[in-house]
Structures are given as structure tokens and as C-alpha cells.
Amino acid sequence: MPYLLSALSMLIQVAFGAIATLFLLRLLAEANRADFHNPLSQFIYRYTNPVLAPIRRVLPNWRRINLADLLIVWLTVLVERLVIFGLAGFWPAPLGLLVLSLADLLDFVLLFYIIVIFGWSLLTMLSADPHQPLIRLAGTIVQPVLRPLRGKLVVANIDFSPTVVVIVLLLARLLLVAPLFDLGARLAQGG
């Protein structure tokens, strides 16, 4: 039976991860002013707008951050965590669930950036078509994170700024997210 629960848990994580990724892409594309004429941006907008439009009437943007989108991403990881706990037959304390979902959200965003930076730097090293929609959108999303180090870590015409940023993001997962998970787990158990 635990094998079946593990498989079901994995499928739930994939489904909720896909939803969270779609809305996180929308959040980051809007915040970084991605090209709306990009077909990938249009796809993301088309499938997230029916959910976000009613919420945006109540929850406006803050600067360039779409708070409705951020709320949806957070609620997605919260519900995912709740469903996984439900499968395990465990009902967490509300404060623990909130802290765990916040840690999940932060971990999801950091891991998302690690993957996008790695993929984007690999594709640009391989001289892929810079006008390809995926590369343009990924470039728009990673540029603000890479900009402070751009051109400062060049050795033999190779820019190591993506490597340094990925290392910093990995350290953030270890030093910020892991303690939040520990705190959330303690609070979820009621202790």
C-alpha cells in the first residue's frame, strides 16, 4: 500500500507543480515585462487570465508584482501540501501548514530559478536561435537575477555569473528554506 500512496503522491505533486509553474511563469513574465508577442507568453496569459481576472479586481498589483498571481501560486502549494497530508492520514496544525506552505513556495521559486538559469545558460552556450520563444522568455526571466554579476565574472570569454547565482540559490535553499521546513514541521505536529 505505501507504494500506491507514493505513486499517487508523486502524481499529485506533478499536477500541482504544473499549475504552480504556469502561474509562476505568469508572475515572473509580468514582473520582468516579457514580450507579450511571444507565443509562449500568450499561451501563459490565455490559460491563467480566467482565474486571475476576478481576483485582480479585489487584489491589485503592487508595483510590478501581480499579487493575485502570487496568491494563486501560494494557494496551489498550500492545497498540494494539505492533500499530501490528507493522503498520509495526518491533519496538521494550521500555523504549521501556513509555515510549510510558505517554505514550499520559497523552495519552489528558488528551484524554478535554478532550473531556468541552468537551462537558459546551456541553451545560450550551444548557440541556439535567440529568437526562439522559450529562450526569449527564459532570458527575460533570468536577466534581473543575473544583471548584478553580468560581465564581472568573465574568464576566457566565459561568463560564470550564472554559476555563481545558481550556487547562491542553492545556499538559500539550504540556509533559508530548510530551517523554515523544520519550523513548519514542528508547528504542524503541534509542538
Instruction: Summarize pLDDT for 138-184 with one digit per residue, the tens.
Output: 999 999 999 988 878 778 877 889 999 999 999 999 999 999 999 99
pLDDT score of 159 = 81
pTM, two decimals, is: 0.91
Question: Cβ atoms within 10 A of the Cβ of 175, count?
Answer: 9
User: 179: domain range?
Assistant: 2-188
Taking residues 3-24, report their average pLDDT: 95
Q: What percent of the chain has pLDDT over 90?
A: 73
Residue 117 has pLDDT above 90, yes or no: yes
Residue 1 has pLDDT above 60, yes or no: no
pLDDT averaged over the chain? 92
Confidence of residue 191 (pLDDT cuts 50, 70, 90): low
pLDDT score of 105 = 97
Residue 107 has pLDDT above 70, yes or no: yes
Q: What percent of the chain has pLDDT over 70?
A: 99
The total number of structural domains in the chain stands at 1
Residues 6+ apart with CB under 8 A from 153: 159, 160, 161, 163, 164
Indicate the pairing of strand 154-155 with strand 158-159: antiparallel
Output the CA torsion sign for 9, 81, 118, 122: positive
Confidence of residue 109 (pLDDT cuts 50, 70, 90): very high
pLDDT score of 128 = 73
**Structural contact between residues 112 and 24, judged by C-beta atoms closer than 8 angstroms:** yes
153 exposed, middle or buried (CB, 10 Å; 0-12, 13-18, 19+)? middle
Burial 12-35 (b: 16+ CB within 10 A, else e): beeebbebbbbbbbbbbbbbbebe
Residue 76 has pLDDT above 60, yes or no: yes
